[in-house]
Amino acid sequence: MTSSSTLPFPAGAAGATPTPEQIRRAPKVLLHDHLDGGVRPGTVVDLARASGYDGLPETDPDKLGTWFREAADSGSLERYLETFSHTVGVMQTREALTRVAAECAEDLAADGVVYAEVRYAPELHVERGLSLDEVVEAVNEGFREGERRAREAGGRIRVGALLTAMRHAARSQEIAELAIRYRDRGVVGFDIAGAEAGFPPTRHLDAFEYLQRENFHFTIHAGEAFGLPSIWQALQWCGADRLGHGVRIIDDIEVAEDGTVSLGRLANYVRDKRIPLEMCPTSNLQTGAAASYAEHPIGLLRRLHFRVTVNTDNRLMSGTSMSREFAELVAAFGYTLDDMQWFTVNAMKSAFIPFDERLAMINDVIKPGYSELKAEWLFRQTAAATAVASDSSPEEG
Ligand SMILES: O=c1[nH]cnc2c1ncn2[C@@H]1O[C@H](CO)[C@@H](O)[C@H]1O
Ligand SMILES: [Zn+2]
């Protein structure tokens, strides 16, 4: 351990506790969401029927949604990932990809997400003859359509795509080149995903070095199902801009009984360099990376001022949304609107779009949105105080 300090006051000790409705309306920023992990259950059923995919475990949308949540609740990342065969199985045509992407943008906007980076692995969508380029174009078309629908519904969202390469496969260089081809057309970054144990990020070093030479951005799933070596490789060998999950950084932090905290060299590096952590609490509970919301490392990491962000990972498999992730954290840690704003500004600062555009989102959308919600809260407090005061004043005789 290389440095120690005392834990600052818990976040959320006083201030505006958001209501569920305010959590939904609050502007939110999502950096880690898988397109094939967020399909509407009804859409999986429709697409399976239309394409002749007969492998679904349930054909009633409600039952299918429950099946995904329960099957993903397996305690292991490998078993969690098996459930994706059904969504990927029905996402093999242009129309299917466009529809899923449009609905994704629509659903996120309805949940109050104003900026999202949504990832998918093009190599998983070529079983029926689409080229990698056609996959990207179909998804882009869907995101633009979803943004349009959100505007028509009186909302707003901007969606950027991250192209994922599967870490057990050997197509990362090809996918990195695909991302560069589309860097000015909807693709804002690159990622690797899939089973982590046994597939270290350095397997894909060529792709990462290529992307660095191209001045491009990438995140790496690391420190989810495997620990510190994976995080260390992702940062110090591969040059990741952000960490997908990164929860295991907690293994490099010690909290003594008296509240003294010691960070190891890697944890210090992550905090000093403001490396964004894309945390996905519900997903981590399902894969066994954390035992409960209250015990999730996000609580400690937020108190220690790591660059923490809140994400959904897979809305279908986790039965979640940005609002639900925040509601769980509010319940577990007493987070306030100020905490929500802090997580949201962190996420916007860490996005892969240009600096001036991130700044504009923070100043024109995020801060005014939270100010409005905090003003509502103050108004409620004042109204409640006035009501108490008049209740306790002596009755006129
Ligand atoms: O939390 C995760 N960890 C690692 N891989 C994941 C996670 N969620 C989804 N995928 C994998 O990423 C692919 C492309 O979206 C999915 O098909 C799934 O295999
Ligand atoms: Zn993920």
Cβ-based burial of 156 (10 A; exposed 0-12, middle 13-18, buried ≥19): middle
Q: For residue 356, what are the contacts with CB-CB under 8 A and spacing of at least 6?
A: none
Band of residue 389 on the pLDDT scale cut at 50, 70, 90? confident
Mean local confidence (pLDDT), 118-138: 98
**What token pair was written down for 84?**
């994706």
Q: Can you tell me the distance from the alpha carbon of 325 to that of 330, in angstroms, rounded to the nearest whole number? A: 9
Query: What are the tens digits of pLDDT across the range 325-346?
Result: 999 999 999 999 999 999 999 9
Q: Which CATH superfamily includes the segment(s) 3-387? A: Metal-dependent hydrolases (3.20.20.140)
| One-letter identity of residue 224 | E
| pLDDT on residue 12 | 45
Task: Give yes or no for residue 296 having a pLDDT over 90.
Answer: yes
Q: How far is ligand 2, taken at its centre, from the CA of residue 281, in Å?
A: 11
Give residue limits of the domains in the chain: 3-387
Q: How far is ligand 1, taken at its centre, from the CA of residue 144, in Å?
A: 23
| One-letter identity of residue 282 | T
Which atom of ligand 1 sits closest to the CA of residue 36?
15
204 is in an annotated binding site: no
Band of residue 13 on the pLDDT scale cut at 50, 70, 90? very low
Residues at Cβ < 5 Å from ligand 2 ion: 313
> Among 31, 80, 97, 221, which is best to mutate for testing ligand 1, by the most ligand atoms less than 8 A from CB?
221
194 is in an annotated binding site: yes
Q: For residue 316, what are the contacts with CB-CB under 8 A and spacing of at least 6?
A: 37, 38, 39, 40, 41, 44, 65, 68, 87
Q: Can you tell me the distance from the alpha carbon of 337 to that of 348, in angstroms, rounded to the nearest whole number? A: 16
Mean local confidence (pLDDT), 130-136: 98
**What token pair was written down for 72?**
């993903």
The ligand minimizing its distance to the Cα of 226 is 1
User: What pTM value is reported for the model?
Assistant: 0.94
Query: What are the tens digits of pLDDT across the range 96-117?
Result: 999 999 999 999 999 999 999 9
> Among 84, 139, 282, which is best to mutate for testing ligand 1, by the most ligand atoms less than 8 A from CB?
84
**Which residue's alpha carbon is at the smallest distance from atom 11 of ligand 1?**
194
Is the CB of 163 inside a 6 Å radius of any atom of ligand 1? no
Is the CB of 125 inside a 6 Å radius of any atom of ligand 1? no
| pLDDT on residue 1 | 59
| pLDDT on residue 5 | 66
Mean pLDDT estimate for the chain: 94
Query: What are the tens digits of pLDDT across the range 243-289?
Result: 999 999 999 999 999 999 999 999 999 999 999 999 999 999 999 99
Mean local confidence (pLDDT), 367-395: 82
Query: What are the tens digits of pLDDT across the range 155-198?
Result: 999 999 999 999 999 999 999 999 999 999 999 999 999 998 89
Is the CB of 314 inside a 6 Å radius of any atom of ligand 1? yes
Which atom of ligand 1 sits closest to the CA of residue 120?
15
| pLDDT on residue 44 | 98
Q: Could you tell me which residue, 5 or 228, shows the higher pLDDT?
A: 228
Which atom of ligand 1 sits closest to the CA of residue 287?
1
Catalytic: 224?
yes
38 is in an annotated binding site: no
Q: For residue 369, what are the contacts with CB-CB under 8 A and spacing of at least 6?
A: 25, 26, 27, 114
Task: Give yes or no for residue 73 having a pLDDT over 70.
Answer: yes
Catalytic residue among 106, 117, 123, 224: 224
**What token pair was written down for 169?**
């496969």
Is the CB of 224 inside a 6 Å radius of any atom of ligand 1? yes
65 is in an annotated binding site: no
Whether the Cβ atoms of residue 224 and residue 249 lie closer than 8 Å to each other: no
DSSP structural state of residue 17: P
Q: How far is ligand 2, taken at its centre, from the CA of residue 114, in Å?
A: 20
Nearest to 86 by CA among 62, 59, 107: 59
251 is in an annotated binding site: no
DSSP structural state of residue 73: -
Q: How far is ligand 1, taken at its centre, from the CA of residue 318, in Å?
A: 13
Q: Can you tell me the distance from the alpha carbon of 85 to that of 80, in angstroms, rounded to the nearest whole number? A: 11
Q: Can you tell me the distance from the alpha carbon of 214 to that of 187, in angstroms, rounded to the nearest whole number? A: 14
Mean local confidence (pLDDT), 217-233: 96
Q: What angle do CA 204, 209, 210 make, to 5 degrees?
A: 100
